[in-house]
Chains A and B, each alone.
Chain A
Amino acid sequence: MNSTFHADASQQYLPQIRLRNVVFGILVKEKTRIFLMFAYLFMNSVVIYWLSANLIEKTIYNIYTNPTILLYFRLLVISIPLIIGLLIGVPLLSTEYESGTYRFLFTQGVGRWRFVRTIFGVYLVFISLFSVMTASSINHFFTIQQQAGPIQIWSFGVFISNPIIIIPLTLTTFVAGVFFGTLMQRVIPGIAATILFVLMLALGLQVSLEKSVAFFVQRLNGSQRDPLLAYYGFVASNDSRYLFRFQMTFALSLAILSLILALGSLRALNSGGLLHRKLRP
Chain B
Amino acid sequence: MLSVVSSTNLAKSYQGKLALKDCTIDVPVGAVVALVGPNGAGKTTLLDIVAGLLPATFGDVRLFENVIPGSLESLQRVSFVAQNSPLYQNMTVIDAVRLTESLNVIFDREYALTRLQKLQISLKRRIGKLSGGQQAQVALTLAIARHPDLLLLDEPLSSLDSLARQQFLSELMTSVATTSMSVIFSSHSIYELEKVCDYLILVVGGEVQLCDSLDRIVESHRMIACAPGELDDYSDIEIIERKLGTRFSTHLIKVKNLLSRSALESHPTSLENIVLAYLRRAQEVEALNASVKL
Residues of A within 8 A of B (CB): 1-8, 10-11, 14-17, 21-22, 24-25, 28-29, 32, 99-111, 115, 272, 276-277, 279, 281
Contact = CB atoms under 8 A, between A and B. Distances in A.
Contacts of B102: 17, 21-22, 24-25, 28
Interface string B67-90: 111111101101110111011111
SS class, residues of chain A in contact with chain B: loop
A159 B27 CA distance: 64
Nearest to B76: A109
**Those 9 A-B pairs whose CB atoms lie nearest each other, nearest first:** A25-B102, A4-B55, A103-B82, A109-B104, A108-B103, A107-B80, A109-B76, A100-B86, A110-B103
B78 A107 contact: yes
B67 A4 contact: no
Contacts of A8: 67-68, 71-73
Contacts, number: 124
SS class, residues of chain B in contact with chain A: loop
A79 to B, nearest CB: 26
A2 B55 contact: yes
Given A28-B95, A281-B45, A111 B56 contact: no
Given A29-B99, A111-B75, A279 B14 contact: yes
A252 B40 CA distance: 50
B62 to A, nearest CB: 11
Given A4-B69, A32-B90, A103-B53, A22 B40 contact: no
A15 B105 contact: yes
Contacts of A11: 71-73
Contacts of A16: 105
Contacts of B139: 104
B72 A7 contact: yes
A140 B72 CA distance: 49
Interface residues of B, number: 48
B44 interface: yes
A213 to B, nearest CB: 48
Contact of B88 (A7, A10, A21, A101): A101
8 contacts: A5-B52, A8-B71, A21-B103, A22-B103, A29-B99, A107-B79, A110-B75, A281-B40
A10 B68 CA distance: 11
Contacts of B73: 8, 10-11, 14
A14 B76 contact: yes
Contact of B68 (A6, A32, A103, A110): A6
A38 to B, nearest CB: 18
Contacts of B79: 107
Interface string B217-245: 00000000000000000000000000000
Contact of A4 (B52, B86, B91, B95): B52
Contacts of A17: 102-105
A104 B82 contact: yes
A272 B69 CA distance: 13
Nearest to B139: A104
B104 A4 contact: no
A107 B44 CA distance: 15
B86 A99 contact: yes
Contacts of B69: 4
B5 to A, nearest CB: 14
A281 B46 CA distance: 10
A22 B82 CA distance: 22
Nearest to A32: B90
A276 B14 contact: yes
